[in-house]
Each structure stands twice: as structure tokens, then as C-alpha cells.
Amino acid sequence: MKVLVVGGGGREHAIIKKLAESADVTSILCAPGNGGIAADAECVPVKATDVEAMVALAKERAVDYVVVAPDDPLALGMVDALAEAGIPAFGPTKAAARIEASKVFSKDLMRKYGIPTAEYETFDDADKARAYITARGKYPVVVKADGLALGKGVLICEDEAAALDAVKNIMEDRAFGASGSRVVVEEFLTGPEVSVLSFTDGETVVPMVSSMDHKRALDGDEGLNTGGMGTIAPNPYYTKDIADECMEKIFLPTIRAMKAEGCPFKGCLYFGLMLTPDGAKVIEYNCRFGDPETQVVLPLLESDLFAVMRAVTDGRLADVPVVFGKGAAACVVLASGGYPQKYATGKPISGLEEAEKTACVYHAGTKLEDGQIVTSGGRVLGVTATAETLAEAVDKAYAAAGCIAFEGAHMRRDIGRRALAALK
Ligand code: AMP
Ligand code: GLY
């Protein structure tokens, strides 16, 4: 079968490498893809958010199945548009993608169905939000823009001045555009964070191996928030008992709630959890595979990803095996100097072949220029290694990442350190 993967980052590269292992996949297209993905799939320059052009491409190239990986095309209804054209796709409908695209929707869903999450209020009026913050008078407090904001719409405010400023920023100055027409003001939670991606066909939910992201730019969780500087799996804080609790109190209730609301969720549902002193709570839902979580989760998947994806689309997930290996994985992200702020691009990258001898190098922001791979984004590469233990996986990933060089390259040196400490 011919498969089209929508997107062009490290996550999409990891999905493509896994799909390529399936005997049923004969060819893979990727739109728009990137310089490194081009080695594993035919890249076509169609923007991930251009729904009409993507449907036209899928028709024209007689694609049998589409995987829509990023949040924006899902929120725009790409899966619905493909279905109308008779093309099956992996990912939620526009209505179901609201679980990520609108924080007001997801918070109200959790309240209505008793799913544990931070206490909150929502506002479409800045003055009312400010009055609530002042009257509540507890800090830190978390202020979130309602809509998609490239992962930047969450502000943790240490005092009243910062919180009032956050409301002004999001609602009045529209720092995150239209996504700031409404805000969620919520309680600040504490505890280790765990990412759990799951497959669900709207009835059955199958959690994948747990993982841990490292969101800040610098070692010791200092510096600005990024899209993610590295990941490890499994997450040692996520014990069997906690997994059972999450299945009963969070995963199944969420799947049932979406069905009851008339928008059953099919695809990959990502649970961003915090293990608080009062139990596991939902920090956020994502309606898609996480990036760079996918780069440690899929390498550990032993089952046929394509078979699992099709079972999700067809509502047969209960009938297919979803098996993960017993080992561990670590992914170290190589970023352009300056990321997540201003950075240079077009820097030649060396050492890729050497790194690939012992690790898997997923391309996130690269392009091919006169036969040379050069940098083209903030996050450039994700270097993943798997091993029997997490300690070995981390060492292997860093050894391979150390082979790679480009001007201004930056990586965190402490990916997995907290997880390894928790294992002791
Ligand atoms: P999000 O974009 O929703 O994943 O939020 C980004 C990060 O902000 C999360 O990974 C958490 O570290 C933090 N965060 C979000 N909501 C809360 C909260 N209620 N309490 C504490 N930290 C939070
Ligand atoms: N790594 C977090 C995300 O994909 O949103």
C-alpha cells in the first residue's frame, strides 16, 4: 500500500522509519518532509496545513492511507476532508481534535466527566480574569491561552503582577493571536511529569510505553521552554500501580467522555500527566504523537505500526497486538545555537554516517543543498539509541550525538539524568 505522511519533523521521520518496516507498506510519500526524510520517503512540497492541496495530492498519487501527524492540520479538519474524498487516515476528526485545540473544551470535558486535573476557571473577558486572579490570591498561578500556540501559550506566574501581565499579553495584546480570545486560569500543580501516548479507536485504548520530555533549553531545566530537547522511555516514575490508576481514572473515562460528547477520538491521544501528591492529574491532552516522545516510543514498538494504525481507523484495535520491547530508549536533540529564539540556518552538518552506525538519527530541521545536508530549523536532529537499560541507552545516544557537528550546535548534557536518579 502507498502511504502519505503529513508533516516534516523528527516525529514524522520516526513514524516513517517504523512504517517502512511493515510488509504491507510498499511506498511512502511525505509532505512536506525534510532533507533527511528524503532518504526514506519521497518528499512532496505541499504545506502540512494546506488541506485542499493535501487531499488533491493524495488523490492524484492514488494514496491508500494517510497519517496526519501535526496538530494544526488535524485541528483544521484534514482527516474529515480525506474521509469525504474516500481516503482513510490516521488521526482524529476536527471535532475530536478540540481536545488539544481548545483548552476550554478539554478542561470543561474533564470537569463534566470527573477526570482529575488542576482546578480552573475560564474567561472570555480580561477584566473578569484579572478580578478572579486577584480575589483568588494564590501563587504561582497558571494562565493558558485557549487555542494552539506552538506550545508557548502556557504562562506560569509567580505573583499577581506577572499573572495580570499574562492576561494582558494573551487577551489584549494577542501575543498568541486568535488563540488568546479566551483564557484558562488554573491551579499550579507539582510533581514529576509523565507523557503517555496511546492508540485509541474510540472504544479501546492501548497506552504505549511511557516517556519523559525535557522541555527547557538548558541543563538542569533552566532557560526557555522549547518544543523538547530530549526524551527517555520508559519513565521510571510511571509504575505499574500508577499505570493502573491512570487507566481507570483518566484513560478510559476520557475515551468514554469523547464518545458521549459525540466526537469519539480515533488516533494517537497523548496524555500529559503530573504525578501530584493527590494522584495523577492531566496537565494537557495532545491529539497526536508527541515530538520528541515519538522518537523514543516507536523504536521500542515491536508490533507492526501500519497494522495498528489501520486497526485504529477501522475500529478494530482490540483485535491487534500492540507489544513494546523490554528495553529503554533515549533521544538527544541537537538544536541550532540560539533556539528557541533567533538562530542561523544553512550550516553544513557532518558526522551523520558515523552516528548512524550505533544510533538512529531522526531529522527535524534539515534540508538537502547541492548534495549536502544543512540545518534549516531550530531543532535540527534527534539522536535515539535503544539498549537493555536506560543508562546504556543514554550513553549510546550521547556517544552517537558526539559524532555530529555543525556550527553553533547545542544539546543538553543531562537528558535522562533525573530518570536515572529516580531508578536508584
Ligand atoms: P503545556 O503546553 O500545556 O504542556 O504546558 C507546558 C508546561 O507547563 C507543562 O509541561 C508543565 O510543565 C507546565 N504546566 C502546565 N500546566 C501546569 C499546572 N497547572 N501546574 C504546573 N505546571 C504546569
Ligand atoms: N513534546 C511535547 C509535544 O509534542 O507537545
Whether the CB of 228 sits within 6 Å of ligand 2? yes
Which residue lies with its CA nearest to atom 9 of ligand 1? 283
Which residue lies with its CA nearest to atom 2 of ligand 2? 290
What is d(CA 271, CA 260) in angstroms, rounded to the nearest whole number? 19
pLDDT tens for each residue of 142-180: 999 998 877 778 899 999 999 999 999 999 999 888 888
Please report, for residues 49, 317, 337, 380, 405, the alpha-carbon distance to residue 408 in angstroms, rounded to integers and kept in the order given. Answer: 30, 45, 5, 11, 9
Which residue lies with its CA nearest to atom 4 of ligand 2? 290
Provide Rg for the chain, Cα atoms.
21
Give the residues of the chain that fall short of pLDDT 70.
none
Tell me the sheet residues that pair with 29.
4, 42
Which residue lies with its CA nearest to atom 3 of ligand 2? 290
Please tell me whether the peptide bond between 207 and the residue prior to it is cis, using omega within 30 degrees of 0: no
Whether the CB of 293 sits within 6 Å of ligand 2? yes
| Cα separation of the two ends of the chain | 46
**Which ligand has the minimum distance to the alpha carbon of residue 272?**
1
Q: Which of 106, 232, 286, 415 to mutate to test the pocket of ligand 2 (most atoms within 8 A of CB)?
A: 286
pLDDT at res. 184: 93
What is d(CA 297, CA 17) in angstroms, rounded to the nearest whole number? 13
Whether the CB of 290 sits within 6 Å of ligand 2? yes
Q: Cβ distance 206 to 196 under 8 Å?
A: no
Which residue lies with its CA nearest to atom 15 of ligand 1? 283
Q: Name the phi and psi angles at 385, rounded to 5.
A: -125, 145
Q: Which of 100, 20, 36, 25 is nearest to 63 (CA)?
A: 25
**Which ligand has the minimum distance to the alpha carbon of residue 9?**
2
Q: Cβ distance 185 to 133 under 8 Å?
A: yes
Q: Which of 193, 196, 270, 289 to mutate to test the pocket of ligand 2 (most atoms within 8 A of CB)?
A: 270
CATH T-level topology, domain 328-423:
Glycinamide Ribonucleotide Synthetase; Chain A, domain 4 (3.90.600)
pLDDT at res. 137: 94
Q: Is 169 exposed, middle or buried (0-12, 13-18, 19+ CB in 10 A)?
A: middle
Q: Which atom of ligand 2 is nearest to the CA of 151?
A: 5
87: CA distance to ligand 1 center in Å? Answer: 36
pLDDT at res. 149: 79
CA atoms within 13 A on the CB side of 55: 16
pLDDT at res. 179: 81
CATH T-level topology, domain 119-187:
Dna Ligase; domain 1 (3.30.1490)
Paired sense of beta strands 193-200 and 267-276, if any: antiparallel
Q: Which of 98, 194, 94, 74 is nearest to 146 (CA)?
A: 98
Query: Where are the chain's structural domains?
Result: 2-91, 119-187, 193-319, 328-423
pLDDT tens for each residue of 397-410: 999 999 999 999 99
392: CA distance to ligand 1 center in Å? Answer: 30
**Cell numbers that stand for 260 in this block:** 458521549
283: CA distance to ligand 1 center in Å? Answer: 6
410: CA distance to ligand 2 center in Å? Answer: 19
Q: Where does ligand 1 bind, in terms of residues with CB under 6 Å?
A: 118, 142, 151, 154, 156, 186-189, 193, 215, 272, 283-284
Helix 126-136 and helix 160-167, axial crossing angle in degrees, nearest 10? 160
Please report, for residues 16, 268, 348, 386, the alpha-carbon distance to residue 39 in angstroms, rounded to integers and kept in the order given. Answer: 11, 26, 17, 22
- Give 2-91's CATH code, choosing from 3.40.190.10, 1.10.510.10, 3.40.50.20, 3.30.70.100: 3.40.50.20
Which residue lies with its CA nearest to atom 4 of ligand 1? 284
121: CA distance to ligand 1 center in Å? Answer: 16
Q: Break the chain down into helix, strand, coil percent, rounded to 5.
A: 35, 30, 35
Q: Which of 152, 156, 157, 226 to mutate to test the pocket of ligand 1 (most atoms within 8 A of CB)?
A: 156
136: CA distance to ligand 2 center in Å? Answer: 30
**Which ligand has the minimum distance to the alpha carbon of residue 148?**
1
What is d(CA 345, CA 217) in angstroms, rounded to the nearest whole number? 18
154: CA distance to ligand 1 center in Å? Answer: 7
CATH T-level topology, domain 193-319:
D-amino Acid Aminotransferase; Chain A, domain 1 (3.30.470)
Q: Is 413 exposed, middle or buried (0-12, 13-18, 19+ CB in 10 A)?
A: exposed
Transcribe 301-351 into DSSP letters: B-S-HHHHHHHHHHT-GGGS---B-SSEEEEEEEE-TTTTS------B-B-
Q: Which atom of ligand 2 is nearest to the CA of 291?
A: 4
Three-class DSSP labels, 35-72: CCHHHCCEECCCCCCCHHHHHHHHHHCCCCEEEECCHH
Q: Do domains 2-91 and 193-319 have the same CATH topology?
A: no
